[in-house]
Structure 1
Amino acid sequence: MRVIRPALLLLVLLLAACGETTDANAAADAPAVVEDAGSDSSSTVEATTSSVATEEAQGNSFSTEVLPILETKCATCHNDPGPGSIHWSLETVSDAVDEAAFLGDYVDAGVMPPWPAGPLSVAFSNDRGLSPEERATLVEWASSGAEIDIEPSTLVRAAEVESLAEVDATLYPEEPYQGSPDVLDDYRCLVYDPQLTEETWLVGYNFVPDQAEVVHHAIGYRAPASQRERAEAKDAADPGPGWSCYGGSGIGQDELFIGWAPGQVPARYPDGAGLRMAAGDFIVLQIHYHYDLEAPLDNSSLQMDYTSSDEPLTEVQIMPFLGPAEIPCATWQEGPLCDRDAAMAAAIEKYGRAGVRADEANLLCGTRPSDYADMTNGIASSECTLPIYRFGTLVSVLAHQHEIGETFRITLNPGRPNEQILLDIPDWDFDWQFNYAPVEDITLTPGDTLKLECSWDRANQKPGIEPAYIVWADGTYDEMCFATMTVLDD
């Protein structure tokens, strides 16, 4: 069993960052492979000795109340070789008993398991957060002696998760990616090319990490054939497969539609619906690798489920929304890039005008940089209400900021009797970005409005960064206030 003690574990849990990808012609040559679905085998872990009582605990029964929570909310990430197993390996009941005090502390503090959506959000399917009752059960068990009523050697296995109906193609990058342990957090953009020669309907997809212990999370973009040359240029300019990236893919005209973190189930669109993909469309995945000890060669894949029906499908649309991101230097900071014009010029030089959308966001939202000039205490915020022009049913919603993001809220029809907070993230963490799928149908009609509210805190910034006015741009130390809604056309 591997355990990192509280101080170091807390440090690891608080690490966050953003990134985007390198080899010439990777986009043109990346193979699409069809594979039969298989099942992973699990090795038996030798039981550790434990002196804990095996009689039923007075507070609650471990086997009927505690163990199911560990299986559904913890084991997905902490079973070997999950990304959390490097910090705490949960293979047997004795692993939970041995670290019960730490488990109880982190659960009580709300740190684990990670589920950024707060209680003001609508109910989501596959909610990996703990209910108040589940949290109380774990804390009570841990604080009352961590007694168990089954053998300590009993395996703790992740609950079965949903799977794709079919896997028609399994996509890989042109070549596996080899990172370096010298880079603790590595954000890499890699092209996954489905090699489509005609219009195709995607009805489901599933990101499958290869080296699960280092693949922390991934976000994915659909890009049109017109951007292939730009992707190839970025690939060629950066040694190794893909290119280093952060805020977005860096190629422009792409659509963010994939958000994966450990525990995310395969994405399946509603029956009779699909995402239309044109000939030549390709996917760019930004994969966050977190290297604690070593950097194994990774060949993560993307499973694709295409429709086999000749019947026309209802098209799923990806609707982007953006709000301003204007964060002036704090009063205690100074430097040439604290001037907004200088910061904008530097960002445009690095990422091109397509990668710097600060002025566009202000224009869309009717705001000006001067509206944020007084936000010099290290904390800044923005809001923007945008119109919805189409009929549809909400399939999922995804929010996106960078590393100094603090909060994010998305509200449908603010200030109206039918106001509804779709997604509220009270403590933003770039490393846990999900596509959130509402349990109940939420309909959209022309005339509805959507409000984005974002805030940032410079206290979240990594030390040693040159002081700068932060604008809406693709860079690692720039920021965004961006959301997408996946909508089923009505």
Structure 2
Amino acid sequence: MKRRSHGTRRSTAHAVVTLVGVLLLGGCAGSVASVDDPGVPGDQGGAPAAASTSTPATTAQGHGAGHGSGHGAATSPTTPAAPLRAGERSVTLTMPQAYTPKAPAAPGTDDYRCFLLDPEVREKSVVTGIDVLPGNPDVVHHVILFRVPPDKVARAEEQDRGQAGQGWTCFGGTGVESQGSGLDDAPWLGAWAPGGGERLLAKDLGMPLEPGSRIVMQVHYNLLAGDQPDTTAARLRVAPDDGSRKTLETVLLPGPVELPCRPGRTGPLCARPAAVADVQQRFGFAAGSTANALHLLCGELRATPTQSCTRPVTQAGTIRATAGHMHLLGRSISIVVNKGKQDEQTVLDLPVWDFDDQGSKPVTPGVRVAPGDTLTVTCRHDQSLRDQLPALAGVPERYVVWGEGTTDEMCLGIVLMTRP
């Protein structure tokens, strides 16, 4: 596969940086982007993720049922899941009132909503743990927290003012980052998806948070289980940035999804152009064009259940944790360093995908990578799962491409690394 230039990769970043999807990542993402780190003895395991208060009932093959303006923060009056460590304080971010999800376009069953929150950080700080608390787990499919640096707060506030009610619709990204925002250092603090829970960074790691920053909490609501109100919150562990911690960065590895209808199955969406047009109608042209944009990033189109994408490493680093994200038709996912080379090394291998267990996996010891190395994500999807999963009952078979919805699909590798 040909390598693409940095400019080509970045031109597609806005369309694919969701899940994230992780985490998602969801339709994501991870914990879509939840990130466990090798950690320190006594720690809960790792890096910024988020917490679940409940998990949807599982179904066949280990897949989930598919539940699948002045916003502020306050110091949490509750006790964190684990004792605060030296220097840490707990801050809770929540919506000021309940939000009732709704699909922006028919016949959609998904709502991506972004809420602008203020962590009230007044000094140079780091986030050392995240606990996302979905208010209504029946409709919350995933949550991703994005950092908004001070120089982009005005843009975020403009997005918030642009739509009535709380927050704004945000398929395909928050709308705060420019289209050049990248895959090699995503502005994620962390995320939650089925299987998530509170995650702590190892004591030598932190996610930087500048004074005056804001946080966008992107919530993916899956309306297959109804449209009841939700008040989701996120609890952060924040500590002063004293220079003792390394910065943990998130690298996203999206791959194509090109899953044709099964032999003998027909329908109006079994043709790829019709399926892509349907995704664009439900999520908007930009977000709905990810299926095509991914082939600029990853190479030529192949309509097969197994898809891969290989990207060059652009900066030296040490891989500390990995995660994968797919939806209900996912079967397996892997991430490999230098695939096909003598020094090939697998850093994530999930031969049986479980939608309800998207937590990240520590890479111990860390794997060092440098420019000249490659990262390959490989995903396998299976249309036959339509016959087994209640969430897909009555959903007509279609040519499946990358889409934001629960009944669409994703292929996303998530790599957490530190830099020298």
1:204 aligns with 2:128: yes
The match for 2:394 is 464
Structure richer in helix, relative to its length: 1
1:343 aligns with 2:275: yes
Question: Secondary structure of the equivalent of 2:294?
Answer: helix
Report the residue type matching 1:397 in the other structure: T
Deviation of the 1:311 alpha carbon:
3.8
**Contact map agreement 1:209 1:300 (CA 8 A) in 2:** yes
The match for 1:485 is 415
**Contact map agreement 1:414 1:420 (CA 8 A) in 2:** yes
Question: Secondary structure of the equivalent of 2:364?
Answer: coil
Structure 1 residues 274 and 14: alpha-carbon distance in aligned structure 2, compared to 1, 3 A threshold: closer
Structure 1 residues 231 and 267: alpha-carbon distance in aligned structure 2, compared to 1, 3 A threshold: farther
**Contact map agreement 1:276 1:315 (CA 8 A) in 2:** no
**Contact map agreement 1:195 1:280 (CA 8 A) in 2:** yes
Structure 1 residues 186 and 432: alpha-carbon distance in aligned structure 2, compared to 1, 3 A threshold: farther
Question: Secondary structure of the equivalent of 2:266?
Answer: coil
The match for 2:25 is none
Deviation of the 1:161 alpha carbon:
5.2
1:358 to 291, 294, 311: 291
Larger radius of gyration: 1
Deviation of the 1:426 alpha carbon:
1.8
Deviation of the 1:178 alpha carbon:
6.3
Report the residue type matching 1:259 in the other structure: W
1:173 aligns with 2:81: no
Deviation of the 1:338 alpha carbon:
2.2
RMSD: 4.0
Deviation of the 1:392 alpha carbon:
1.2
**Contact map agreement 1:164 1:305 (CA 8 A) in 2:** no
2:144 to 208, 220, 225: 220
The match for 2:50 is none
Distance in 1 separating the partners of 2:163 and 2:355 = 23
Question: Secondary structure of the equivalent of 1:349?
Answer: helix
1:135-188 Cα distance to aligned partner (Å, 9 max, x none): xxxxxxxxxxxxxxxxxxxxxxxxx857565234211122235689xxxx9977
The match for 2:118 is 194
Distance in 2 separating the partners of 1:291 and 1:350 = 15
Distance in 1 separating the partners of 2:380 and 2:129 = 32
Percent of residue pairs identical: 24
Distance in 1 separating the partners of 2:271 and 2:364 = 46
1:319 aligns with 2:251: yes
Structure 1 residues 309 and 206: alpha-carbon distance in aligned structure 2, compared to 1, 3 A threshold: closer
Structure 1 residues 405 and 394: alpha-carbon distance in aligned structure 2, compared to 1, 3 A threshold: same
**Contact map agreement 1:230 1:251 (CA 8 A) in 2:** yes
Matches within 5 A, 1:84-99: none
Matches within 5 A, 1:376-395: 380-395=305-320
The match for 1:435 is 360
Question: Secondary structure of the equivalent of 1:202?
Answer: strand
Deviation of the 1:408 alpha carbon:
0.7
- Gaps of at least 5 residues in structure 2 are 1-56, 103-108, 178-185, 387-391
Deviation of the 1:30 alpha carbon:
1.8
The match for 1:418 is 343
1:30 to 71, 84, 94: 71
1:333 to 258, 265, 284: 265
**Contact map agreement 1:398 1:433 (CA 8 A) in 2:** yes
Deviation of the 1:404 alpha carbon:
1.2
1:332-366 Cα distance to aligned partner (Å, 9 max, x none): 22233222222222322332343131122112122
The match for 2:208 is 275
Question: Secondary structure of the equivalent of 1:17?
Answer: coil
The match for 2:332 is 407
Deviation of the 1:456 alpha carbon:
0.8
Deviation of the 1:276 alpha carbon:
4.4
**Contact map agreement 1:32 1:172 (CA 8 A) in 2:** yes
The match for 1:302 is 234
Deviation of the 1:439 alpha carbon:
3.3
1:398 to 308, 311, 323: 323
Deviation of the 1:449 alpha carbon:
0.9
Distance in 2 separating the partners of 1:235 and 1:460 = 39
Structure richer in strand, relative to its length: 2
1:7-64 Cα distance to aligned partner (Å, 9 max, x none): x975797443388xxxxxxxx322111135537xxxxxxxxxxxxxxxxxxxxxxxxx
Distance in 1 separating the partners of 2:62 and 2:169 = 23
Q: Which deviates more, 262-271 or 463-472?
A: 262-271
Distance in 1 separating the partners of 2:281 and 2:112 = 21
Deviation of the 1:193 alpha carbon:
0.9
Report the residue type matching 1:303 in the other structure: R
1:16 aligns with 2:57: no
Q: Could you state the TM-score of these two structures normalised by the residue count of structure 1?
A: 0.58
Distance in 2 separating the partners of 1:359 and 1:291 = 27
Q: How many residues align?
A: 337
Distance in 2 separating the partners of 1:232 and 1:459 = 44
Report the residue type matching 1:454 in the other structure: C
Deviation of the 1:388 alpha carbon:
0.7
**Contact map agreement 1:252 1:355 (CA 8 A) in 2:** no
